[in-house]
Amino acid sequence: MGKNKLVLIVVIIGVLCAAYFIYANQYKKVGVEANQPTDKPILQEENTFPAPGKTVYQMSLYLDINSRTIYGTTILTTVNTSGRVLSDLLFTIYPDAFRQAGSSPAPDPAYYAGFDPGWIDIDGIMINGKMAEYSKEGVSMQVMIPEPVKKDQDLRVEMKWRTHVPKVEYRFGYSDKVFMLGNFYPLLNVADNKGWLSSYNSVFGDPFCFHSADYLVGINVPDNYGIVSTGAVIDRNAEDTGRHDYLIAAENARDFCLGIMYDYNGMYEQYDDLLITVVSPPGHEKQMESVLQQAAGIIDYYSRTWGPYPYKEFKIAFVPMKGFHGMEYSGLIFLQDAFLGSTANQQRSEFILAHEIAHQWWYGVVGNDQIREPWLDEGLANWGAYKYLEEVKGNKITPPVEEPVNLARELSDMYSTREYYHTAYTGGESFWFGLEKELGKEKVNRVLQRYYTDYQFKIANSSNLLDTIREEAGRDMEYYFNEWFY
């Protein structure tokens, strides 16, 4: 890394540290609205570390366009709430999934110029002021703590890293002067008093499980490149070097996603307290306006049905992405730019939009282990999208005619993309259509309202959900559950 880049990152770190103290006292102005009080504990017995509300990622980022490299520095602060002494930390380093052609999750057609590797390299780690050793295996990085951290002790991790973005049209990749940066930085895994939840690469699904955290991110990009991200831009500055600085803040975010685009158009609309933004390549103003209106209607429906959308902003970015119709992140979704074409099926496009927005509730606010229980968020997102089309748009929806499938399966139990979709999507939505027949629409809505309230910004599991159903149903439900979990 050149001297100028190093000096710039040091300056950004100083700005971040100063800005954090200002931001910490202004969360309600730039972050999430206050949640309704609850008498339930913030953390569940499982998956208690790193604790939401006690974990902050401060990152400084510099994007080198020519090498497609992000030079990053992370300061991660949290508290050891795992219930045990910590001697190591486990991180997910998703960019390393793209190092080898044989293990990349991106489909072959996404590599428009042939295979191009992506990766993340670590240049140094300090924990509580002392240098730490680390080892990498696949998409996991184990960091040994020089002095074990006792229960309830503060933890500070400082890390320098470099991420190389591959030429691939995927949720992590680059094409046509667009950087799609999902899970591009080291993310701390989830642990409890029994140990770590490990992560692994998968060629299908979303192999992630993270606790919510607060973010303060400074990024430096060339002029003419715009950004769209999780959270809100709270400061920006034009340099005389032909580059721009942005400072972004987010509270209670499941992850931090970033899109960096050259010469993109943006359109936004304020709906009550919510600012919705759509960005796309030039020449699609009519489609952007339509998507803005659809998104507002979808968010309104879900907010009335399940519980309020908690953030002040929501963003939609049309990007050159293959392998997914859409991809969800906290406060931001990516959609395939193919949906901007005149031949796109409009009802199908709106269903996908509704599916991805539903993930703001199921995965975003109410988290789940997408590796081991992918049906929890995908089934609800699909079912919710169908209910929106039926109840708001007046479309006639024919529930899927499916025999119950075993939902108690993780990604490694599935052997193909088709099997994954059959289990998590079709099986998941069928569970909810069947439950609606058993309990009726109003009672199912009460189940989800309670589930949303009780587990917001936590990590829920199938047992939590089934307990909520039992309590709201007020009767034995084992006969139904046994059809889906075996």
Count of structural domains, the chain = 3
The yes-or-no verdict on residue 365 having pLDDT over 90 is yes
Q: How far apart are CA 312 and CA 32, in angstroms?
A: 6
pTM: 0.91
pLDDT interval class at 342 (50, 70, 90) = confident
Same domain as 464, residue 436: yes
Question: Residue 193's domain is classified under what CATH number?
Answer: 2.60.40.1730
Q: Is residue 154 part of a domain?
A: yes
Q: Residue 279's domain spans which residues?
A: 264-356
Q: What is the DSSP letter of 283?
A: T
Q: Is residue 40 part of a domain?
A: no
Percent of the chain with pLDDT over 90: 86
Same domain as 322, residue 257: no
Q: Is residue 23 part of a domain?
A: yes
Same domain as 213, residue 302: no
Same domain as 161, residue 139: yes
Q: Is residue 236 part of a domain?
A: yes
Same domain as 456, residue 338: no
Same domain as 306, residue 162: no
pLDDT interval class at 46 (50, 70, 90) = low
Question: Residue 462's domain is classified under what CATH number?
Answer: 1.10.390.10
Q: Is residue 324 part of a domain?
A: yes
Say what the pLDDT of residue 341 is.
85
Q: Are 456 and 362 in contact (CB under 8 A)?
A: no
Same domain as 396, residue 351: no
The yes-or-no verdict on residue 457 having pLDDT over 50 is yes
Mark which of 263, 296, 313 sits at the end of a domain: 263
Region 440-446: mean pLDDT is 98
How many Cα atoms are found within 13 Å in the side-chain-facing hemisphere of 196?
17
Same domain as 466, residue 333: no
Residues 6+ apart with CB under 8 A from 428: 375, 376, 378, 379, 380, 382, 383, 407
Mark which of 329, 356, 383 sits at the end of a domain: 356
Region 407-428: mean pLDDT is 96
Lookup result for tokens 């991106």: 106
Same domain as 110, residue 228: yes
Per residue in 171-211, pLDDT tens?
999 999 999 999 999 999 999 878 899 899 999 999 999 99
CA torsion sign, 399 to 422 to 291 to 273? positive
Region 451-477: mean pLDDT is 97
Q: Is residue 468 part of a domain?
A: yes
Average pLDDT, the chain: 91
If one compares 191 and 46, the residue with the highest pLDDT of the two is: 191
Radius of gyration of the chain (CA): 22
Cα dihedral value 471, 476, 477, 482, nearest 10: 130
Same domain as 308, residue 289: yes
Same domain as 247, residue 119: yes
Mark which of 263, 290, 313 sits at the end of a domain: 263
Same domain as 367, residue 474: yes
